[in-house]
Structure 1
């Protein structure tokens, strides 16, 4: 049994009612043990023989846990379900719904319910909406068409100090001509920052052209970037490249570390002289384009690992920006939840305005290997499966997305901690000894441990 389900069962403590339906949704049995739990049907006889959806008017076959248990053939746990009876009374329940089998087939379902109406406000973490800010963003996006940057500094939503510093940095460097290198983990929003640099600059009325260097085969990338002339190869015709199309604006090269070395040499020529030559052409064309590039690793690491030529490294990373991961800025989770919930409320016609404390705590504790993109994906998933009548995202809406992720995201199986520590310690000592060319005293200073301690560990790990 998963931890989430165990916690759920423990939180039930007791039940207030039992309901049984058949495969057609007809109520066969209903009893409510507490008088405040639907007093108009306390005896159960009034609803026996009626359709469940006629008694509880705001649920149907898609939203009822009883129907789901029959459909899926497995127990359904729901921490919060709101139902409305025929009198219009609303009640919030915690439910366990179990399929009933007879002669090897499912013939109905039984549900154990607990009334949590009076406790519901104590278990929620309210996410306040700021619709005025979101409306401003929507208006701005509608203003821009193709080959235009769609996002501005206002779209970079954050209360994190580092992100605020980056936004200030963008204002300072926006009007320059120097190349910018943006780096950070996948899903941190590097392209968003590139858009913001362009829109903050005096090039904002010019084109913003974006190209992922890893998405195009090597034999096509050159012609896409620099253009072609008729007859340069079979089927070629006069076609401007992205540099020409970006004239007077910005060219954003994502995953620049995937660009082949021979193309980097041609790119260097453009960066140095400002001229491009189409494939098969003798003529050079002057271009006025600012280059913004991006990678999931730092420019220096790209160069050291052989992904970037040294000469182009200095040209591309005149200005560099590191975008912190979501786990480094967890104070932003609430404001991002606010934004994504509002976004998908509009798209999916939902009315979610809160997140349960348990779900929120899980989001805070999660490591976010996919960063903001993963958070949006998780919220979009949750908003799709939340009931039409519900206004809250609960742990059940996200638990399948975060279950047992710790081992998967770091790729390390659970094992004795001392084994892992010893392995890392040995590797660090080896690197320190190699860097200091065998000088134990210097290596000890690098590792910030006594020389005697290092000598002892060298013997333990058979490194001398």
Structure 2
């Protein structure tokens, strides 16, 4: 039986091949073999020489090429005609390529796009971590399998198969498919061939998931009674307004002067179309007030949408506000933004101080020009909606800490409303308690409240304001079981501890907060405010303007310091 040894040196695409007979005598070699071994295919001088006698050939061999030395390794495998071959590759070059592969794989496994690579036969040769997270398939499960098996595709269908057949790329397209495990995936992907001199080496696709982004956008809008209608303009035109605002001024509970002043100011503001800024601590009921303004205004038949700027990632927030056109960024699909959707309704931007400064600049431009552009578009769209915004931090603090652009603040604060915390309207607490007991008690059996408990709740400072009070009442009703009366024992442990500590003279409850402040600071603040009020004859608006604070903030400080404004108006 005849044998032949085939020695392959170099890259897989351009190998150097040496052929030997069964006695390891040289027969012929490819042109590239000259790079590694000192022979010429046309040279008769080396024909028939044993392998060990070839100039520059050893087994294992050390050869020089382009000024670098390479050590070759040998592996024997059977070939045609009953022979066998020896594959020789430069070990140092192999190590270099191995390191490069590690680097490339590391990079591809850290990017935020899914990457899939298949060979010309449709077998998966690379599957990165992002795609693994998206599809729920480990790289070990995917690599080495047919792409048609992995994605339940028929032969001849699927982007990778089409690109393999046509050698033409498929640009970004929206894809919806199911994995072998039955998981539905929505993504935007580009599929591209890798060619060398028209020879197909591989096909790769880069994709970005749109499922979660779409769900988040839809869920946020649906919570406000909004449905995205980007694909059917007629449906949007013919549909009635969404029920986004449900509260009215009659839903605001309280009889204190502080809350009555707020309602009076809000009722005056609802008749105008100017932007409104509402300042109030967390849990004071800012959205209830904003919804009441919308429902009492001429815009009540138009959409109302509330958006918490602190709850939405910056890149998604811009798209939600302005909308986007297809191709504006990877994965972008035509999207109607809230500015456009709300049209002539009311857009409420809660916690606007959480919005990035860069996005604030874009919002400022829209307010100044009364127009905006979708992300990725140059077409101007008229801004017709009314903007009501709110902050839960003192305005001066926002400006001082650069949480809010000063020019944007003035644009948004044409009308300002200050919603006082619960500790500044303690006379309203019994009314709120009564309302919450009726709301959360089992039907026909409202709970009663022990007098000492009501007194403790009225005197507590309520840092979480109305929201904290309602949650406390609901908790006590749940914990009281079948008992008809609520007592201090039913309070949450953290709150009961603070109230009992306060009874012992500590700072958990009571009205003594101002007295605990540095007396010199209070005296200085009092002197400045009195001087400015005297200068403007008790006019709070002018005094607040000179001090650089909101009128409501000045009212709060005047009340806290016990300053009689009337004495300056005589």
Please give the range of the TM-score, normalised by the shorter of the 2 chains.
0.5 to 0.7
Please report how far the alpha carbon of residue 158 of structure 1 lies from its aligned counterpart in structure 2 after TM superposition. Answer: 0.5
The aligned residue for residue 490 of structure 2 is 397
Q: Give the one of 418, 426, 430 matched to 1:334.
A: 430
Which of 274, 282, 292 is the aligned partner of 1:186? Answer: 282
Count of residue correspondences: 282
Secondary structure at 2:384 match in 1: coil
Note the C-alpha offset of 1:342: 0.9
8 Å contact from structure 1 (residues 359, 395) kept in 2: yes
State how 1:53-202 maps to structure 2 within 5 Å.
146-202=242-298
Equivalence for 2:473: 379
Question: Partners of 1:176 and 1:328 in 2: how far apart?
Answer: 28
Per-residue CA deviation, residues 52-108 of structure 1 (Å, 9 max, x unaligned), is: xxxxxxxxxxxxxxxxxxxxxxxxxxxxxxxxxxxxxxxxxxxxxxxxxxxxxxxxx
Cα distance, 1:403 vs structure 2:
2.3
The structural deviation recorded for 1:341 is 0.8
Question: Which residue in 1 is equivalent to 2:395?
Answer: 299
CA contact (8 A) 1:344 1:350 kept: no
> In the aligned structure 1, how far is the partner of 2:303 from the partner of 2:265?
22
The structure showing larger relative contact order (alpha-carbon pairs under 8 Å, at least 6 residues apart) is: 1
Q: Which runs of 5+ in 2 are unaligned?
A: 1-224, 226-239, 508-513, 527-570
Within a 5 Å distance, the mapping from 1:298-317 to structure 2 comes to: 298-317=394-413
Separation (CA, whole Å) in 1 of partners of 2:467 and 2:252: 13
Please state how far the C-alpha of 1:359 moved relative to its aligned partner.
1.1
CA shift, 1:272, in A, is 1.6
Structure 1 equivalent of residue 72 of structure 2? none
Q: Shift of the alpha carbon at 1:307? A: 1.2
Is the partner of 2:416 in helix, strand or coil?
strand
* Match status 1:362 vs 2:456: yes
Find the counterpart in structure 1 of residue 334 from structure 2. Answer: 238
Q: Decide which of 203, 206, 211 is 2:302's aligned counterpart.
A: 206
Give the C-alpha shift of residue 246 in structure 1: 1.2
CA contact (8 A) 1:148 1:206 kept: no
SS in 2 for 1:374: helix
Partner of 2:194: none
> 1:225 is matched with which residue?
321
RMSD over aligned Cα atoms: 3.1
Using the TM superposition, give the Cα deviation of residue 404 of structure 1 relative to its aligned residue in structure 2, in angstroms.
2.8
| Post-superposition offset of 1:407 | 11
Cα–Cα, structure 1 residues 393 and 258, in superposed 2: closer, same or farther, change >3 Å?
same
State the alpha-carbon separation in 2 of the partners of residues 164 and 421 from structure 1. Answer: 27
Counterpart secondary structure, 1:404: helix
Give the C-alpha shift of residue 300 in structure 1.
3.6
Q: TM-score by structure 1 length?
A: 0.56
Which of 300-309 and 183-192 deviates more?
Answer: 300-309
- Are the structure 2 counterparts of residues 406 and 317 from structure 1 closer, same or farther at C-alpha, using a change threshold of 3 Å? farther
TM-score (normalizing by structure 2): 0.46
Q: Residue 214 of structure 1: SS of its match in structure 2?
A: helix
CA contact 2:266–2:417 (8 Å) conserved in 1: no
- State whether residues 147 and 209 of structure 1, in contact with CA within 8 Å, keep that contact through their aligned partners in structure 2: no
Distance in 2 (alpha carbons) for counterparts of 1:156 and 1:429: 36
Judge conservation of contact 1:244–1:287 (CA < 8 Å) in 2. Answer: yes
Cα distance in 2 for partners of 1:361, 1:429 equals 31
Segments ≥4 residues shifted beyond 6 Å: 406-409, 420-423, 426-432
Separation in 2, partners of 1:263, 1:374? 32
- 1:336-395 deviation line (CA, Å, top 9, x unaligned): 1111111112xx44612421112111111211111100100000001112233x332122
1:207 shift after superposition: 0.5
What stretches of structure 1 of length at least 5 have no aligned partner? Answer: 1-140, 415-419, 433-464
Please give the alpha-carbon distance, in whole angstroms, between the structure 1 residues aligned to 2:499 and 2:485.
26
Give the corresponding residue for 1:343: 439
Secondary structure of the structure 1 residue equivalent to 2:372: strand
Quote the Cα distance in structure 1 between the aligned partners of 2:383 and 2:250. 30
Q: 1:363 and 1:246, CA in 2 relative to 1: closer, same or farther beyond 3 A?
A: same
